[in-house]
Structure 1
């Protein structure tokens, strides 16, 4: 499964390691929140609706941060913006541990989200431009698997801390550990250079920076809209589980802290498998077919996990498959978005589509919190899960395939007439 890494050049390997570590530590910082939700409810006496606000605010600001980081990455460089975003989210995760009330925590979470969103926007473009076409899908999937690794580390630290330290103190320490990613900035400064395709594009005579609204040019408009709908479903589905699943397991399934950690680990293990499988399927059968497998499989597994009256013994392995199908879609997603847009607007285009989906999908946890006051939490999660998968399926029916097309280098203004829809009929580039 990892044999292809031996064929990477030193430049490709350094970028791959840096982006994998960045996404792993990003997940560690972000997923800490989902584990402390029951504690915050108990300590501060906040409502489920307030929890929804806390879960949503970081995702909304991450959408803004991701779009802006994509634009900055096009103008100032992928590596430089990646350094800034990693340092940003590490600092504000650390500060969350000092919050004394709901209002302070809300502000720190909002600011943390800016860096969280920006890290993916810069890192995914960097890895897509450094890794050659042959391995781009697998590299994108490997980097995405760092999310499962970071989520798993967060689950292990949560289980250990909350078992050894009083709950009222443990949640502070959980956030303070979030400063760790800042050390990655020094590795990036020493070992990772800007992609050659980006440097070549910036050197083009007369090449101008694209505007924030370049994604709405006529030749890109409908592709941008369809991609945004698709990513809304992708993001909304994952945020549902990330924010609410630990609370569901503890409150409606009656699991202990250790039991919740065990069930969450099953979901995380499935997510890691999904990233790996999706990475290879994306290169083997195409991005679009992999997306369909992920969407349909996740919808079916959701029925088993949350709708059918199953026991905890059946629920544990079901969680593995729920994680596998839900997160499989993200393995080829970064390469797919990078293959849609040309170099001069790759960061802004990818940053916009991915993060509009993140911003709208961020409303799902909030709406679940509001709906959960009227019906069981499990049913609320299931309803919005089906809405998310419905968005993905409908968008996939009209989106193109990009496997084998490679990256689009920039051409002078006025010649961006080779849109994704027309390129699907063009012979693959070497």
Structure 2
């Protein structure tokens, strides 16, 4: 049994690589923006007081991602993955030639739209295709593969001063990688669960209202689960998102780190913290998703607060690496839960809804940070105040969400046949 749990069949290993490769580029793109924020801000003349607001607006690409991910429950996972990777490629390439902050904002918002939809679908596909005994393990590997994108961004960022076009070259590199993924992904097959669901549907033309069934079912079939997932996701994203977005800026402007030093620290921290994905995957299969998620949320909150409050350089580095480790663990566990709690007929829709909640709460946190920054006098003080909201996410995890580890998806979330809604 142990040997089986540590080795995926060849077909599933290929699936994991084809799906996870886009997470690699997605996280590379996010890492570049977080690291190169000071250079992008200076190049495009973004006012200091608008940095948090602009970052938040870009994250609202998730609102455009929702209909894309929702359509995966209507037309299939594979087709939507090809559409989203093509959209990401174009938006990323054009970002590299943006001439002002408005163009950059629009293009990055579009890029986030497609990348958020990609992220949602990747976790759904792995949840549907991998054996329940290995699901947490496989999702941990998927997330770890994505984190290598952060490592690449950190490595390249150390060379920002010698690249011919500065931060713009990072986006050209990302677009080239997406083209390779698009070509390789043509061999990807539809998930068996969705294929079975599609075969069971009547072969008739469906009305627009019938196409919206996954959205209606999400709220009607499991309202308690959905409410608990909202109550978990919202305070955690609200409290933590700004702290993660400002780390490079904080290190450079408060502690005097050079871009090269920030890149090396991110690379070192990421190399160590990526183990959080592996640990969370295995531990959540053995100890349960709820236990791992509760502990990791608490650790993220405490360690990020320590990062922004300490003046000790050793504690600064240790708290950052520890916070990143715990955040990776919480992220993959929450993604696993979000993919397991709802049936196949609207699993992608539920993942999209959770992402919308996550990003909306994150944007709210960024907006609040911008609002209270003038009152408290520093980004660090504003961020620590926001972090107080994050531990409240633990309560619904322990009190209201069911355990999903080591259980089949049909057992965790059977299809619920609801009476049709009025058109």
The TM-score with structure 2 as length reference comes to 0.89
Over 3 Å counting, the alpha-carbon distance change for 1:240 and 1:270 in structure 2 is farther
CA distance in 2, matches of 1:86, 1:392: 34
Q: Structure 1 residues 70, 310: closer, same or farther in 2, change over 3 A? A: same
Query: Is 1:284 aligned with 2:281?
Result: no
1:121 corresponds to which residue?
120
Native 8 Å contact 1:63 1:117 kept in 2: no
Cα shift readout 1:89-139 (whole Å, capped 9, x = no counterpart): 232122111111111111112211110110011111111111111101111
Secondary structure class of the residue paired with 1:332: helix
Residue 225 of structure 1 deviates from its aligned partner by: 2.0
Q: Distance in 1 between matches of 2:406 and 2:5?
A: 20
2:179 aligned with 1:182, yes or no?
yes
CA displacement 1:202-261 (0-9 Å, x = unmatched): 1115497524232121x4223212212322344445532442110011111111112222
- Do the aligned partners of residues 238 and 299 (structure 1) sit closer, same or farther apart at CA in structure 2, a change above 3 Å counting? closer
Please tell me whether residue 196 in structure 1 is matched to residue 192 in structure 2.
Answer: yes
Distance 2:136 2:254 in 1: 39
Q: CA deviation at 1:322?
A: 0.9
Check whether the contact 2:232–2:394 (CA below 8 A) recurs between aligned residues. Answer: yes
Deviations 1:62-94 (A, max 9, x none): 2430x2233111111112211211221232122
SS in 1 for 2:215: coil
1:318 shift after superposition:
2.1
Give the aligned partner of residue 29 of structure 1.
29
| Counterpart for residue 306 of structure 1 | 308
Write the deviation string for residues 15-45 of structure 1: whole angstroms up to 9, x where unpaired.
Answer: 1111221111111122211122111332333
Residues 151 and 268 of structure 1 are in contact (CA less than 8 Å); yes or no, is this contact kept in structure 2? yes
Q: Is the 8 A contact 2:45 2:101 kept in 1?
A: no
Whether the 8 Å contact between 1:238 and 1:326 is mirrored in structure 2 is no
**289, 299, 305: which one pairs with 1:297?**
299
Equivalent residue number for residue 261 of structure 1: 263
Residues 288 and 396, structure 1, Cα contact 8 Å, conserved in 2? yes
1:221 aligns with 223
Q: Which residue of 1 aligns with 2:154?
A: 155
Structure 2 residue runs without a partner (length 5+): 204-209
Q: Is the 8 A contact 1:295 1:393 kept in 2?
A: no
Equivalent pairs counted in the alignment come to 408
Match 2:162 to one of 151, 164, 170: 164
> Does residue 104 of structure 1 match 2:103?
yes
- Measured in 1, the distance between the counterparts of 2:6 and 2:403 equals 28
Distance 1:324 1:3 in 2: 26
Aligned to 2:19: 19
SS of match in other structure, 1:229: helix
TM-score of the superposed pair, with normalisation by structure 1: 0.88
> RMSD value over aligned CA atoms?
2.4
- The yes-or-no answer on 1:143 pairing with 2:142 is yes
